[in-house]
Structure 1
């Protein structure tokens, strides 16, 4: 049996893949150790979102190669750009192959501690792999492929195991949760969420990234489920990427701005207190000044409480990499303008909460004696002096919002 060290970079979907790998390794009798120097095998689960990340992944792989006898490189960069690791003494493979590589032909041998793996009280549930998109700037699609959706019952079983293992928050993840079930000819995300919420226990459910096109076709059914199920955080991450239909066309994003607006309006109609999260890519090669202003206008109009602003960077092997890019100065200026607007919009959202009372789920320890919590709409609330209030991760607490710090609020137990 091997000892292993695993490092994970990137999104929650990647962390979910690592937990699936760990579960199978532990079921096979392998055990984790602290640090690569103490491990028989070091596993690097990579991300390939931007060029800087790739550089860091390559550097970390080199460090592990020097520190450990055997190195396994997996994840998005391994699958999309495996040649970057060709000169290292490492095995490059997909997520599903990692346990078999580590096992080296050994039969699985379950151990007494082979239980669902949690991140504290948070359970990460990848409901599917892949997506239905073909975005011109995306390299991750080369790693993940088209959507592959396990049956609802299988995901419910995994969710139930997480709850029984002590999960108080289940994070439903995937490359695009909104298209769950499309490969089987059905749109099933709302049905899956209903089934998960029907599991006995005190826990909350957060839905991960769902592209606007997938959500648009089930927006009414999905919003109804959010309105009816108290266990569901009223939170939707729908990355629009641009407020210009021309740019969206060049990005091959599948949706138009009007469909994003439809989704927002439907959730506004069904829910009083909810959080919209979205992403914008600034400086796409074909983005004009007018296109940028349309994105700024859309941000002001829809007022998302969580906003990821990313400067466009060319990804090798993508169609957008062949397009003539904008100057770095122009991208920097547009990014700063949108980031400044973002802080104003997000700050207003948290300021509006001051004086209100909310029920929050305590999820993890923060800095010092604080804890991080999330309210019904997945807005972050910090409780200071948690030991003094007898508050710890996993608790449901009623708080009064006493202040805010732009991207989170402060709450006092009542």
Structure 2
């Protein structure tokens, strides 16, 4: 839907020749990537990024996964309204992303001082939408799902992300899990062609990237047009990207268990640049709950995938997502989840109580779990997951592996980086360049980070 609201008493949006911009980003890595691309789109128009209160234009790039996402937005909008009023309305406020896609009309109803609502599939049209707001002195909303991919219309990526960069290769989801809004806010699964992905990867590498994470709502469902005109699977794309000489590391996220094909599992054995860490959401260990979620895989199917991956890459570690208190979850269902967690042993995990999302099938389920019971179960699960994460970190003490350094640590004389398992690693050494990769020995483990020393051969070099 593209529309304008009536032009009611909106002052002109007088904009200086050099425009200023602030993008506030909430949510997943895909949202962070989208925010960078919005900045790329607006940079040729003279926009430069500044703090919120100094900006001529503020964009809230939103996430709709959690229950309070919309309320978080309206709270932030309320604070910004005072700034806009103090400037006699001479500020443009835009809402983008998944909340915009799902609740565009409601945003303008509750916050009529918002100038622009742009859905997750329409932000490539920002210049023309901004021009429409300025010309009509009226709010504009665009939450269409166009037939063509937005990636086909985006300019070349310009924003440097540093040594670790994200690259979106897939968007949308066709799985329709009963708790999830992604199919409604991001649309059907769409895959970018290999040529576009390689071109963007090369630009990221030229900008200093040594590690690239391939992004998608369901990234391992990617099947894009290959360089030979045939449809390639993700494993072949990873193999091709690994041939880029200045790229040291590859990752991909987020995956669905149903799309962990045998060739992709084998890539973890054969592709040396593919890091030994995989985020693979399971959501529950109960087959009854997995069925109610429409996950279309069983707990044992997930276990078999884990076993295959460990056979292919014995040093691989896993993270996952869990939803506790899904409608109908019994004590037995929860115990099944705890059983799976203890069997698999995760290096990292994200867990939440079930959150009703309007428009999803599970939101109308009659057998909602008592919030207090769901919270108690969540605390039990999180204690186990936290202990597993701490145990995994402690198990790294004494190990030697390469760390990609990204910048200064928290304290003077330190430099920080990322392990192959995505853990922050800190070394007392001020002279290492960001983007460099050095072998270290882990000396201590904190709950969320590791301490290390450079190996002697690295110091000598």
User: What is the TM-score of this pair, normalised by structure 2?
Assistant: 0.82
What's 1:86 paired with?
108
Superimposed CA distance per residue, residues 348-385 of structure 1 (whole angstroms, 9 cap, x where no aligned partner): 21222111111111134442244432223x24142243
Q: Structure 1 residue 313 and structure 2 residue 355: aligned?
A: yes
Flag as ranges the 4+ runs of structure 1 deviating above 4 A. Answer: 103-106, 182-187
Q: What secondary structure is seen at the aligned counterpart in 2 of 1:362? A: strand
State whether structure 2 residue 388 is matched by structure 1 residue 342.
no
How far the C-alpha of 1:235 sits from its partner, in A, is 1.6
Q: Is the CA contact (8 Å cut-off) linking 1:360 and 1:397 kept in structure 2?
A: yes
Question: Does the 8 Å contact 1:45/1:74 carry over to 2?
Answer: yes
Cα distance in 1, alignment partners of residues 333 and 406 from structure 2? 39
Equivalent pair of 1:9/1:45 in contact (CA under 8 Å): yes
- The 8 Å contact of residues 192 and 225 in structure 2, kept in 1 or not, is answered as no
Partner of 2:27: 10
2:370 aligned residue: 327
Helix, strand or coil: the match of 1:308? strand
Q: Where do residues 43-54 of structure 1 align in structure 2 (5 Å cutoff)?
A: 43-54=59-70
Alpha-carbon deviation of 1:328?
A: 1.7
Query: Higher mean Cα deviation, 51-60 or 326-335?
Result: 51-60
Distance 1:104 1:30 in 2: 17
Structure 2 match to 1:173: 215
Name the counterpart of 1:63: 79
Number of equivalenced pairs? 400
More divergent stretch after superposition (191-200 vs 275-284): 191-200
Q: Does 1:351 align with 2:394?
A: yes
Give me the TM-score of the superposition, normalised by structure 1: 0.90
Shift of 1:204: 1.7
Q: Do 1:147 and 1:182's aligned partners in 2 also have CA atoms closer than 8 Å?
A: no
Q: Residues 258, 182 of structure 1: CA spacing in aligned structure 2 closer, same or farther, 3 A cutoff?
A: farther
Provide, for residues 46-82 of structure 1, a one-character-per-residue CA deviation record: whole Å limited to 9, x for no partner: 1112123322112112333443421111101110122
Contact 2:290 2:296 in 1 (8 A): yes
Q: Distance in 2 between matches of 1:287 and 1:99?
A: 47
Equivalent residue of 2:402, what SS?
A: strand
* 1:209 correspondence with 2:254: yes
Task: Supply the distance in 2 between the matched residues of 1:252 and 1:175 (Cα, whole angstroms).
Answer: 16
- For 2:352 and 2:364, locate their aligned partners in 1 and report how far apart those are by CA, in whole Å: 19
Q: Which moved more, 1:229-238 or 1:147-156?
A: 229-238
2:38 aligned partner = 21
In 2, Cα distance between equivalents of 1:100 and 1:65: 24
Query: How far does residue 289 in structure 1 lie from its aligned partner after superposition?
Result: 0.5
Counterpart selection for 2:442 from 391, 395, 401: 401
Aligned with 2:191: secondary structure?
A: coil
1:144 maps to which of 178, 181, 186: 186
Rg comparison, structure with higher value: 2
| Conserved? CA contact 1:72–1:98, under 8 Å | no
1:72 to 88, 94, 103: 94
Contact 2:157/2:200 (<8 A) preserved? no
240-249 or 83-92, larger mean C-alpha shift: 83-92
Distance change in 2, residues 1:174/1:318 (3 Å): same
Residue in structure 1 matching 2:324, options 273, 276, 282: 282
> Aligned Cα RMSD in Å?
2.2
Which stretch shows the higher mean deviation, 179-188 or 314-323?
A: 179-188
Shift of 1:239: 0.2
**Equivalent in the alignment of 2:140:** none
- Is there any run of 5+ residues in structure 2 with no aligned partner, and where? 1-16, 85-90, 135-155, 456-461
Q: For residue 317 of structure 1, give the secondary structure of its aligned residue in structure 2.
A: coil
1:110 corresponding residue in structure 2:
none
SS of residue matched to 1:166: coil
